Amino acid sequence: MQEIYEFRVQEQHASRLFAPDEGEKLGWTKLFGDKFVTVRKVKLYADDPKFKRVGELEALIKKEPHGFFFAGWNILRRYTADELEKAELFLLHHVATFEPSGENCGTQYDESSACRHCQAGARQTTPLFLDWKRIPKSKDIARTIAGEIVVSARLMKLFKQHSITGAKFLPIRHRPASSAESKDWFQFVADSSDALIIAPTKTGIHPFDEDLSDEYRCPLKDQIGLNRLSEVWISRASYNGSDIAASRQFLGRRGGLLRPERLLLISPKLRRAIEAEKLKGFKFEVAHLI
């Protein structure tokens, strides 16, 4: 497995580390709070001396008011055919994201059922109400910014055809006042959320900040971090063997419409079926069972 780190470096500071033609200039990008900055995308291996410098510059520039060196990051993991063939489990991630969230369209949650510390795990108490015209049409799986997952009728059919276990598909309604249900999209709910994420899985705020003050880790250990920094390891004893399963713990944070989310794990059988049908809207990574 090869890890490549991708940073969206703020153009204003890029010359402190990179040559003018290094990376790919992306133009304006929107940050939280409606702030716009120009960025460039730069890819680095962790053993590149510049990788360490990215972390040092981030720490330095962060001390300035509203300062930051990179506005976003991502870790790409590339596998050999042999590694993919031998994998016992996969993580389904980088699911296509859209707005508005279910809550914006009238979906309700019982906040009293959520963790009192990290507010993860609030139960949805109504059908999922969504403006389904906003779901990206070219995708087969998509999520709202609040982590509500929808799947296409095509994917639901694939589950039936291949006798895939471990998921429920629930109707999506446009709004509380209308009983109309989408024929093209369904809410996806995993039957099981018992897969236990264990060490050496690493979480943190970004590749140079492992959140040593545990800002995004719940004392009850249900929310285990803001972001995932490594591949994921799952306790073999906790995995029920179904083709799709959710993790017991959550990543992310509660704030505004955002909710901590579980990870989704899928079997090699489901991955093969999805690949064969060329379904879209996500990426895979190997997940380790130990």
261 binds Zn ion (CB under 5 A): no
Is the CB of residue 260 less than 8 Å from the CB of residue 220? Answer: no
Beta strands in 161-217 (DSSP E): 167-173, 181-190, 197-198, 203-204
CA distance 41 to 23: 5
Nearer to Zn ion, 46 or 220 (CB): 220
Of 37 and 122, the one with the shorter C-beta distance to Zn ion is: 122
Q: CA 209 to CA 197: how far, in whole Å?
A: 20
In angstroms, what is the minimal distance from the CB of 121 to Zn ion? 8
Which of these, 256, 37, 221, 7, lies nearest to 144 by C-alpha position? 256
Which residues ranging from 118 to 147 are in contact with Zn ion (CB under 5 A)?
118
By CB under 5 A, is residue 222 in contact with Zn ion?
yes
The CB-of-201 to Zn ion minimum distance in angstroms stands at 17
Nearest approach in angstroms of CB 43 to Zn ion is 35
> Which secondary structure element, helix H or strand E, spans residue 270, and what is its range?
helix 268-276
Q: Shortest Cβ distance from residue 20 to Zn ion (Å)?
A: 46
Q: Does 105 bind Zn ion (CB under 5 A)?
A: no
User: Contacting Zn ion (CB under 5 A), which of 218, 232, 245, 274?
Assistant: 218
Distance between CA atoms of residues 129 and 153, nearest Å: 17
220 lies in the site for Zn ion, by CB under 5 A: yes
Applying CB under 5 A, the residues found at the interface with Zn ion are 115, 117-118, 218, 220, 222-223
